[in-house]
Amino acid sequence: MTMKSPYRIIYCLNQFFGGLGGEDKADHPPCIFDGPRGPAIMLQQRFPEMQVVKTVVFGDNYIAGKTDVAVAEVLALLKNSIDFNGADAPHLLLAGPAFLAGRYGIGCAAICKAVQEEFGLPAVTAMHPDNPAVAEYRKEVLIGVAEKDVMGMEEGLQRMLALGKKLIHHLPLVPEEDNYILQGRRQNYFAEKSGAERALEMLLHKITGLPYQTEYVMPSFDRVPPAAPLVDLSQARIALVTSGGIVPRGNPDRIESASASHFGTYAIKDVAALTPEGYQSIHGGYDPTYANQDPNRVLPLDVVRELLQEKVFGSLHPYYYATVGNATSVAKARDFGRDIGQRLLADGVQAVILTST
């Protein structure tokens, strides 16, 4: 199917690809420009049927740190500059590709989701499957598969455009052909063979080394080899980390009770034990009654202090790290672990007591 007039596109980019600057502009609030910028220029040059009418640019830190506020600002910019009901209304919004950049991915996906809901406008982004935004938004936003870095820019643009055209023309998506991140939707159909017959065929193909395609792809989780044991515990510096949601009372960092988007860092240098007056559980996946009565049940600072007095280990790190594991995506948890681990290594920590629920 072809269109008599060009496809009118809104394009979304972060501050780097939008030409505002690097990390020094990562806190820049959303702004809007007429015509294409950055990768949108390449898109329009390679595909003349595309007309980028507006480019939205946002700072990575700004949109990842206060997503709701930033997205509301993007929607306001679009409402004030585009007539979505007029003859020149846009056909599609594209964002990215965000590759493996987590903040960028969150911004792209959040804007796509909001624009779909607010204006009924088809929206597509692209990113690497390990981007943290995938786990959070894949069920609501169409995400094309992109490479890890900018070397895959042209391929990512082509993929977004192909998916976008299908949305515009209400064409069915074909997972085996369209190379997008599966959204977990199931579709009923009439098969020529029964489930038992299909299962036996797959088993025989697997046994004999023939190619086969499972009908239900299972998630693949990393297997991390354990670290080597401590040589001398009595000289070791130990840190406390928890996914059990124990935070200072009032939850100053506003960590979510489920699907946590961040973790908190809290000083315990002068804290002998956690008290119910000073600490609480904000975890939404278990009954917090007993944890709130005695937060040390989840984060055992009291016992650790006793062991320190007995010189079982050398020293205690003056901060603990906390988040919530309830429904938190594997990608997010991996990012938390990497960030916390880097901080602990930089501070000379040799071992961690990691508590959950």
Q: Could you tell me what percent of the chain has a pLDDT over 90?
A: 68
What the chain holds in terms of domains, given with CATH numbers, is 7-178 (3.40.50), 233-355 (no CATH)
Q: Which of 259, 246, 252, 269 is nearest to 325 (CA)?
A: 259
- Phi and psi of 36, rounded to 5°? -85, 155
- The per-residue pLDDT for 2 is 45
- DSSP E strands: which ranges in the chain? 7-14, 31-34, 50-58, 92-95, 123-127, 142-145, 237-242, 246-248, 264-267, 279-281, 315-322, 351-355
**pLDDT tens digits for range 326-347:** 877 777 888 899 999 999 999 9
**pLDDT tens digits for range 148-171:** 889 999 999 999 999 999 999 999
Average pLDDT over residues 258-272: 93
- The per-residue pLDDT for 261 is 87
The whole-chain average pLDDT of the chain stands at 91
Q: How confident is the model at residue 185 (pLDDT cuts 50, 70, 90)?
A: confident
pLDDT of 219 over the 70 cut? no
pTM, two decimals, is 0.62
